[in-house]
Amino acid sequence: MRLSARNQLTGKVVAIQKGATTSHVSIELTGGAIVMAAITNEAVADLGLTVGEPATAVIKASDVMVGVD
């Protein structure tokens, strides 16, 4: 897989929580951190995502927001 996005985090799928139209996919990275992505159920099926299989989180964002109380 070749992408222009520089932020690619490789790990393994540890959970897939399906909703009505969207799934939350949790990927555990080396060191134990978890990255969660919200993608369509159709994308989960198209990618053949299953728990325990390797996957890469590709992060492409133009803004990062921080909030405090």
Task: Quote the tokens at residue 67.
Answer: 């909030």
Residue 37 CA to residue 59 CA, distance in Å, equals 10
Provide the number of structural domains found in the chain: 1
Q: Is 66 contained in some domain?
A: no
Nearest to 9 by CA among 25, 22, 65: 25
Q: Is 67 contained in some domain?
A: no
> What are the C-alpha distances in Å from 5 to residues 59, 62, 64?
7, 12, 16
Q: Is 31 contained in some domain?
A: yes
CATH label of the domain that carries residue 40: 2.40.50.100
Q: Is 42 contained in some domain?
A: yes
Percentage of residues in the chain with pLDDT exceeding 70? 100
Name the pLDDT band for 65 (thresholds 50, 70, 90). confident
Domain that holds residue 46: 7-59
Name the pLDDT band for 61 (thresholds 50, 70, 90). confident
Q: Which 3 state secondary structure label does DSSP give 13?
A: strand
